[in-house]
Chain A
Amino acid sequence: MKKLSLFTIAFFLLLYSSGFGQFQLPEYEKYTLPNGLTLYLMEQHEVPLVYVNAIFPGGAVWDGEQNGLAALTAEALLFGSKNYTKDQIEQNFDFLGASISANAGTEAAEVSISFKKDDFEKLFPIFADVIKNQSFPQVEVEKRKQRWIAELEQDRESPRRVIRNYFNKFVFGDIPYGNPVEGTKKSIEGITSDELRGFFNLHYPLSLGCIAVVGDFNTEEMKAKVESFFPSTPKVDVPLLPRELTKEVDLPFGNRVMLVNKDDSRETTFMIGGKGVAWNNPDIVQIDILNTILGGRFTSWLNTELRINSGLTYGARSGFPHYKYNGTFYAYSFTGTENTVDAIDLTLQVFDRLHKEGINQETLTSAKNYMKGQFPPDYETSGALADLLTTMFFYGLDESYINDFEKNVDAMTVEKAKEIIAKYFPREDLQFVLIGRADEIRDKVTKYGKITEKSIDEDGY
């Protein structure tokens, strides 16, 4: 690393784009076993730990009519496998201070473990059994279902925890990306052990997944050890991609408002947005730069207007959550009930300003520096790198995703920004979700669009 001398550094306002220490993806090996399982191995020796992350196409978009099926299947992987009971799994990991978790999100299901490197022999066999041989014991599944339903009820005490479910459903409609990951009370009640098994068989064949091992080990030794747990079983082929996943979001409704009543609210929590982009969008880095300016950092325009300048909220932000075939755009904030309209008007003014004024060179340079400067810490730990590798597998990304990041950031210009804003930042057909005291705000928010109302106590979104 070049060090600048104390007396020559010109720093007060860096208006040129800096080349900070560039982060490159550490070396790793990737290969596929005859049974179709893909393996990634990456050595990292800073601490004597190993992180293992497995990913499968077992997310909520595959729920079908039974919302929550994917999420419950993932959690139930830890309720017992062929060779280990739930208690044995938990005791072995807990005793060694290690961790094991299994979760499903919108698209993927992941099973992750981390442990001290010397404990590989004791823990990896359990992990391998968990992802290969499932038992889904009914007693445990029923216990978890009952608590799950109670959790869904408690979640409704927190508008910020549930607002995304309303928003996604509102934007995606029947496209499976609108499925609430945790399901609904009614859908969870109906799920059986057999259905979990069916889902598992369809979505967790080794040929569809990958395992990334990152940490303090020797690659050659680790390869042999890991492979011994995944012998050559016949390759199982892929479930078909349901056509609905690739269906374009279509919002020909004009602006719409979903007003969710919560009687004891002291504030209004809101999301405003619409259609976004998918992972493979060629402009994704450019979109990210502009979103950094709009609502992706502390000095972003949204946070500046809603928080810093007006004190209306503790925070405001925006984002482009992107999935394999689809995505959304949202702005999010919350404010005291009496300030609802002020905060939403300001948000819309900021959207307008982005379209009308665009951005200047100083703002762009600042955002570029920010993104580059904050990039390396995202991949600082072995756990983060294991996540990165499985993400790359799942979304079909190669090293350029990391290694060309800086180059792609640098390629952005003020002119290009205009095109990106016009093309990707929604200005019409905005979808509003508001959670708060409906009676207090109803009349004032009709101006934003046609209102649909719900009560937060109603099951589903």
Chain B
Amino acid sequence: MQFVFYNNLKNNFLEIAMKKIIFLFLITIVAFPQTKVEDIKSFTLGNGMKVFVLEDNSIPNVAMYFLYKVGSRNEYPGITGISHFFEHMMFNGAKKYGPKEFDRVMEANGGSNNAYTSQNLTVYQDWFPNQTMEVMFDLEADRIANLNFDSTMIESERGVILSERSTSLENDPMEELWDAVQGAAFFAHPYRWPVIGYESDIKNWTKKDLENYFHMYYAPNNCVVVVVGDVKIDWVKTLAEKYFATISSGQKPRDIHTVEPEQKGEKRVFVKRDVPSPYLLFAYHVPQSGSEEYYSLDLLESILSSGRTSRLYKSIVDDKQLAIDIGTYYGQAFDPTIMMIYAIANQEVNETDLEKAILDEIGRVVKEGITEDELQKVKNQKLMSFYRTIETISGKANTIGTYELFFGDYKKLFSAPEDYNKVTREDIKQVAQKYFIQDNRTVGLLNAEEVEQ
């Protein structure tokens, strides 16, 4: 029942290796069971690029991730969506490897790649057989140091992005509502615009905008590299020195200093679209990743929506048959963000009844708190989902990188079990009481007709 936005559809039957996607991601963390803190090696190059290495020889392959600290929160009106567009342009030619060469050379060497952009990060992912690692370093170094902006490629990529935006709206009404609710919940902070950008901005940004963006954010000192797989640390170090150390560092990007003012009263949004039954979306302002209340909020989210016995699924979908889908989203974020609760109504279900039923469930957690069993359940779920994540070299690479960035230190992933275990029933009740209040809420409804109030 998890609703993942802009999912990576690479292995889906109908979707092409759809690289260059937008992705709001969520991860859950407890420490690696068979990996110790000292197994993860790291070094920093002279230009400020930080590299993490974890040797894992379960398959003869490597996952290499580049996490740039830039996303749609670094944009402003007029260039919204440019982080994501930039992500696409990183595949469209540099100095040594011209347009189309990056993918051609990588695939000819047995590698594949993808990338995603969120509000906070842009992440490039390479997966390849370990013997071809040097090619991958060469390819990456070329585009980090010498990206080229070919005008023809810019125009054709603009078409690709417009199709990407259009196809997600075509196939998913919730997408349309999501953009509207996000835009209403935030009115000052850059989290208010969609990661993919406004259509008019996509059509109008210029080559100059791209060049400026590149110089501002794509410097080695704004990037964390994670290499996990059948490699030796010394080999990675040698290659990093040879290919990456020579790239000059850039200025520290400007801080995002805009703070979303406190919300003072419920906001409501309506989107008209011809759907068989209404779509509902609630947003509550909550603190960011790594904040003191993060772990309590993360567990609260699981209590609401993780599994068939979760509060919302059990009550709204199974018992009352009011919705055919329900879920929540609390993504990783550098700045204070929102927790989303979404639902698609069952046939003949009135949106008012559905809204009331969901708010009643939330109200119950606020008033009565949760049970000891529920708390233990979500802690068990965190552990299981963590094991599943680290079964793959990709999962490990992503976890190390995002922990380093969102929690300030990859080592925090080793203290995470303790951080989750410390959370009590009282902590969860407190965050529910503090944030699940009407004044802090935005409610979105998408339906064929708006009912007169």
CB–CB A91/B170 < 8 A: no
A residues 331-349 near B (Cβ < 8 Å) are 332-336
Chain B hits for A157, CB < 8 A: 171-173, 275-276
A142 shortest CB reach to chain B, Å: 10
With known contacts A303-B17, A366-B108, A380-B392, A374–B127 Cβ distance under 8 A: yes
Chain A hits for B381, CB < 8 A: 94, 97
Kindly specify which of B130-138, B413-421, B425-433 makes contact with the partner chain: B130-138
Bound-state CA distance A159–B171 (Å) is 6
Is A276 at the interface (CB under 8 A from chain B)?
no
Is A377 at the interface (CB under 8 A from chain B)?
yes
Tell which of B13, B239, B376, B394 has the most Cβ of chain A within 10 Å.
Answer: B13
Is A449 at the interface (CB under 8 A from chain B)?
no
The dominant DSSP class at the A interface is: mixed
CB–CB A150/B238 < 8 A: no
CB–CB B131/A372 < 8 A: no
CB–CB B112/A297 < 8 A: yes
Question: Of A91, A146, A269, which one neighbours B346 at CB under 8 angstroms?
Answer: A146
Is B129 at the interface (CB under 8 A from chain A)?
yes
Chain B hits for A369, CB < 8 A: 107-110
Chain B hits for A27, CB < 8 A: none
Question: Of B58, B163, B273, which one neighbours A334 at CB under 8 angstroms?
Answer: B163
Nearest residue in B to A48 (C-beta to C-beta)? B33
CB–CB A21/B34 < 8 A: no
Bound-state CA distance A309–B103 (Å) is 14
Is A18 at the interface (CB under 8 A from chain B)?
yes
Kindly specify which of A201-209, A260-268, A277-285 makes contact with the partner chain: A260-268
Is B264 at the interface (CB under 8 A from chain A)?
no
Chain A hits for B397, CB < 8 A: none
Kindly specify which of B153-161, B209-217, B330-338, B361-369 makes contact with the partner chain: B153-161
CB–CB B135/A311 < 8 A: no
Is B51 at the interface (CB under 8 A from chain A)?
no
Bound-state CA distance A306–B61 (Å) is 31
Tell which of A97, A116, A163, A336 has the most Cβ of chain B within 10 Å.
Answer: A97
Nearest residue in B to A315 (C-beta to C-beta)? B16
Nearest residue in A to B105 (C-beta to C-beta)? A13
Is B280 at the interface (CB under 8 A from chain A)?
no
Question: Of B156, B230, B384, which one neighbours A97 at CB under 8 angstroms?
Answer: B384
Is A240 at the interface (CB under 8 A from chain B)?
no
A residues 93-143 near B (Cβ < 8 Å) are 93-99, 114-116, 143
Is B452 at the interface (CB under 8 A from chain A)?
no
Is B265 at the interface (CB under 8 A from chain A)?
no
B142 shortest CB reach to chain A, Å: 11
Is B344 at the interface (CB under 8 A from chain A)?
yes
Is B200 at the interface (CB under 8 A from chain A)?
no
B169 shortest CB reach to chain A, Å: 7
CB–CB B129/A373 < 8 A: yes
Chain A hits for B170, CB < 8 A: 158-159, 265-267, 269, 334
CB–CB B14/A160 < 8 A: yes
Per-residue interface assignment for chain B, residues 377 to 394, with 1 indicating a CB less than 8 Å from any chain A CB and 0 otherwise: 100111111011011111
Is A173 at the interface (CB under 8 A from chain B)?
no
Bound-state CA distance A320–B429 (Å) is 52
With known contacts A157-B173, A299-B104, A380-B392, A373–B321 Cβ distance under 8 A: no
Per-residue interface assignment for chain A, residues 138 to 178, with 1 indicating a CB less than 8 Å from any chain B CB and 0 otherwise: 00000100110111011011111101100000000000000
8 A-B residue pairs with Cβ-Cβ distance under 8 Å, sorted by A, are A6-B239, A14-B132, A47-B34, A143-B321, A298-B103, A366-B108, A376-B61, A381-B391
Pairs A-B, 8 closest by C-beta atoms: A373-B110, A21-B60, A311-B159, A315-B16, A97-B384, A97-B380, A311-B156, A20-B129
A contact residues vs B (CB 8 Å cutoff): 1-4, 6, 9, 11-15, 18, 20-23, 46-49, 90-91, 93-99, 114-116, 143, 146-147, 149-151, 153-154, 156-161, 163-164, 263-267, 269, 295, 297-300, 302-304, 307-317, 319, 321, 332-336, 365-366, 369-370, 372-374, 376-377, 379-383
